[in-house]
Chains A and B, each alone.
Chain A
Amino acid sequence: MTVALKAVYTIWLRDVIRFYREKTRIVGMLGQPLLYLLIIGTGLSYSFRMPWAQGELSYLEFMYPGIIGMSVLFTSVFSAVSIVWDREFGFLREVLVAPVPRWSVAIGKALGGSTIAMLQASILILVAPFIGVKLGPAMVLKLLGMLFLIAFSLTSLGITVASRMETMEGFQMIMNFLVMPLFFLSGAMFPLRSVPPWMETLMRADPLTYGVDALRHIMYAGTPARELAVQFPLATDLAVVSGMSLIFITAGTLAFNKTE
């Protein structure tokens, strides 16, 4: 067991060191959400009235937790998909011949991806004052915990998908048919209440919807904006995201066990 835990730690540590080394990756992954926030957020807030918000919630405030969710989504899936490269050309091959159980590799990878996603999201949290969102220390801790949970479930989902991928050619497919729909349907940019029923069904099936919803719960706790911004009870959000984490990490581990 200690061997397996040590392996989990090793794989996690390697991901974190690599992230820290790649400054350009950090900049790129931060730049994207900031661009979304700045350009789409500002642009839409002028034409998107949100009559239901009754002036209590600006569009930027509504979208901000969604953009943090987006950043977590992108980072998690990207770091999971990197295992395709690793398997083909390097480190993962080394890991797969080591005397460690396969599941420790999947879990180490999921934790590594989640940590990185959480670190990036926490930088985005620093923008809060500029959006007009006030956050206390307790709130920030709650947010980080929630972000970790979201990141863990999404990285695990990414691992499940990536373990079936043979080459990076499939990457574009993942972007178009997994990552972007997950983002658009998550309620990050528009709420569930204003869409047609078929779309609402899809949005309800998107795990990220509950993640973003939970972020809104925490961020706007105790303000009148909260009731307007959220769609589900916090307990539902937590249950769904935790359930997803469990399901996806199990699926990811099983998929990983199967490779060769």
Chain B
Amino acid sequence: MKKNQYAILQDTSEKVSHAIAVVVLVLLALMAILPCLHVISKSISHGTRVTAGEVLFWPVGVQFETIDYVLNKTAFWNSLKNSLIVTSLGTVIAMFTTITTAYPLSKPSFKGRKLFTLLYVISMVFFGGIVPAYMVVRTIGILDTYWACILPFAIVQFNMFIVKNYFEGLPESVEESAMIDGAGDVRTLWSIVVPMSMPVIATVSLLYAITYWNNYFHAMMYTNSSDMRTIQLYLYDIINNGQAFAENLYSGWNTGGAAISANVTTEGMVAAAVTMSMVPIVAFYPFVQRFMIQGITVGSVKG
């Protein structure tokens, strides 16, 4: 009898806590998703409906003129191209330096391991500041080139340590047998260690790709010609102009979203540009989020 009572009690407490969890989490999920839906809806809704605030989470008076305008009348494609170049080239370079650095440092017998590791730790905890870094970039003459955007993340110490820790966790016997078979260090790394480390390599590549793709500050600091603008700079300009119009920030304009045509308003344009910049991330998300979660786990086991 008593046991049964406990079972019921446990059952209700379980049910109640489960219900609370579901409600709270669904609310949080909606908070994350609905704003995105709102922006997407706005980007393909009729201009006057947008300005009137009638668009919530579903498009009203569907039109694609705004998207068309953003794609073809603004610098969208050029900045997309710039971001793709910086991201792909940057990720490849960064992964190369990360793996080639992590491998020697992961070997317990490597002479000089402590010294080289210390160099990376020092550079991680003490930063010269953005102004000296700018002077270096300007001195080596890569200001306003893709290289200026790639250099800052060509090796991120934290990512290097993730890879190094993963290498350290690999069974030593495999490497030893490769060595006995006469494979040198390069062969061992390339044909034994790297194939065994695909999970961490995928995760860290993704971390680099996101860092490059999302970076705003370095692109702004190190590029200035309009040809070199990355997608983040391009997007910022559009939002900022829209905001300046609407919020009456810099001058006397207050037109309630200046209309370019009946359908295309600055409000709609901002939404369309944000939507188009979100598309690559959202398109890749289902494929890569598995690796990200793996990465967090790997990184938090020993960061």
| A and B assemble together | no
Binding site for B on A (CB under 8 A): none
Binding site for A on B (CB under 8 A): none
